Amino acid sequence: MINDKPRVRFAPSPTGYLHVGGLRTALYNYLFARKNDGEIILRIEDTDRSRFVEGALEGLLTAFKWAGIEFDEGPDKGGNYGPYMQSQRLDIYAKYALQLIKSGKAYYAFDTPERLEELRAELSAKKMQPKYDKHDLYLSEEQIREKLESGVPHVIRLNVEPGPKVVFEDVVRGKVEFDRDTIDDQILIKSDGYPTYHLANVVDDHLMKITHVIRGEEWLSSTPKHVLLYDYFGWDKPVFAHLPLLLNPDKSKLSKRQGDVAVEDYKDKGYLKEALLNFVALLGWSPGENLEYMNIEDMIANFELGKVHKAGAVFNLEKLNWLNSEHIKRKDKETLLEMLKNEMQYHAYNASDYKEDYLLKVADVMKDRCVFIRDYFERSPYFFKAPDSYDPDIKEKRWKENSSGYILKLADTYENGVGGDKEFFELNLKKTAESLGVGAGQLIHPVRLAVSGIGVGPGLYEILEILGKNEVVKRIRTAAEKLK
């Protein structure tokens, strides 16, 4: 390890939304840093100007703020190793590229696009790997100077020299080897003067004292180029850990074509940040002991890079839904109350129209039945307004010829009785059924339909207690009239 204190980074490109795969990479870096008393840096890799999207950086920052992942350094916070936007570090990359040229580890290349296309076509026809042929490596210093002075467009390429295999240790994958003849003379500085990812990330990771590079599997094939650059500069290499791919249920790579992949999409659909973080944490890592429900403190306490799996992780929406319901279920009443109040505005309800004690009871009785907070309004709208219609299937199945008369009798009993708790409603319903000479079910099902408009939900007597005696009597009489 380069430093005693681990330093990791998440380095996205501002090309659009925050992908859930990016969230997982950022989360693993965050968990590793916090578990090991280290630091996490946000660095924006915006050197590919053709892919730059206006406002994307702000979107990334907003998504991380919502998720609760806080960076120690970054473009919005500053730090001792900035700037943290690569487009503001071009002079730094130019300096190190020239250093490589002087040592013979990189070289100028002046090829035209036409020549490169011809080379690709020729290699493809021979079924050979498309690689640069070092054509301009052998230009004389005078030839190079003349071309540079004449303003001939050029790039700077890595000089992959013959030698043994490039070998490095990966925390997730163990020993990884690449034959040198499979490694291309990668462009390091493009014709527009901007660096490619390969040079910029190695230089920045070194200068920012990054000790562990934790990133997606898609960068594994680029790592030998980075290892060569570390060797060419004479720098210590960080520890590498390449995370498994995220897969659709059909084992194809997770993509927008088969579903939502943006963090913002899941936020807008009502997933809790705690549940989404819990879910993506389990996409490639397991803390063991069948532990699945975790808050952020649990994740930090249990996280180990060595327990990250090699195999691709399947994105299972049912698992995410289950975790979301579990996180709702375990919220305390006061937190649920605030969440409920915040959600009410989206369903045309005014929280000030309801007593807090009433909303607390609703929050508590429904929390085991909800996957999303909006389910309070979609699955139990009767807590917020009297039903204006009744489920026709339930009516056909449960509403009999005598139901109106039976429940009107019950309404009289409730109205004249003293009390209002569950026991009051249950005892009087059973007494009424007995006086009518019918089973309690002859009243239970019609009453549920009368007060809720549907046939499912919490226990009937819990619903009645929450609604209160006056409201229950009113709804029973309304339903008896409408459904008789």
Residue-range domain boundaries for the chain: 1-76+244-330, 91-189, 332-381, 386-484
What architecture is domain 91-189? Alpha-Beta Complex (3.90)
What secondary structure does DSSP assign to 44-112, as a single string? B----GGG--TTHHHHHHHHHHHHT---SBBTTTB-TT---BGGG-HHHHHHHHHHHHHTTSEEEE---
Cβ of 442: how many Cβ atoms within 10 Å?
19
CA angle 370, 374, 380 (to 5 degrees): 65
Four-residue CA torsion sign, 265, 267, 270, 271: positive
What local confidence, expressed as pLDDT, does residue 2 receive? 46
Amino acid at 34: R
DSSP helix/strand/coil, 186 = coil
Per-residue pLDDT of the chain (484 residues; tens, 9 = 90+): 445 799 999 999 988 889 999 999 999 999 999 999 999 999 999 988 777 788 888 999 999 999 999 999 999 999 999 999 999 999 999 999 999 999 999 999 999 999 999 999 999 999 998 999 999 999 999 999 999 999 999 999 999 999 999 999 999 999 999 999 999 999 999 999 999 999 999 999 999 999 999 999 999 999 999 999 999 999 999 999 999 999 988 888 887 666 678 999 999 999 999 999 999 999 999 998 889 999 999 999 999 999 999 999 999 999 999 999 999 999 999 999 999 999 999 999 999 999 999 999 999 999 999 999 999 999 999 999 999 999 999 999 999 999 999 999 999 999 999 999 999 999 999 999 999 999 999 999 999 999 999 999 999 999 999 999 999 999 999 999 999 8
> 1-76+244-330: what fold?
Rossmann fold (3.40.50)
> Would you state the pLDDT for residue 1?
41
CA atoms within 13 A on the CB side of 360: 6
Q: What is the pLDDT of residue 4?
A: 75
CATH numeric code, 386-484: 1.10.10.350
Give the residue carrying structure tokens 């996409």: 283
Quote the tokens at residue 446. 């019609």
What residue type is assigned to position 206 of the chain? H
Q: What pLDDT does residue 259 have?
A: 67
Q: How far apart are CA 313 and CA 73, in angstroms?
A: 30
Residue 282 and residue 292 in contact, taking contact as beta carbons nearer than 8 Å: yes
Tokens representing 248? 């659709």
Q: Give first-to-last CA distance, the chain, whole Å.
A: 79
Catalytic residue list contains 256: yes
Distance CA 350, CA 335 (A): 18
Q: If we measure between CA atoms, which residue out of 443, 452, 386, 439 comes closest to residue 414?
A: 443
In this structure, the number of other CB atoms found within 10 A of the CB of residue 250 comes to 7
**What is the token pair recorded at 307?**
């327990």
Tokens of 84: 């943290």
Cα 436 from Cα 455, distance rounded (Å): 23
Q: Which two tokens stand for residue 356?
A: 């807090």
pLDDT of residue 374: 97
**Model pLDDT, residue 345:** 92
The DSSP line for 345-396 is GGGT--GGGS-HHHHHHHHHHHGGG-SSTTHHHHH-GGGTS--SS--HHHHH
Catalytic residue from among 95, 165, 253, 256: 256
The H or E element that residue 132 is part of is none
Residue entry with tokens 């004389």: 140
Q: Edge-to-edge strand order for the sheet containing 155-158?
A: 106-109, 155-158, 187-189
Cα separation, 40 vs 45, whole angstroms = 16
Place of tokens 């995370």: 243
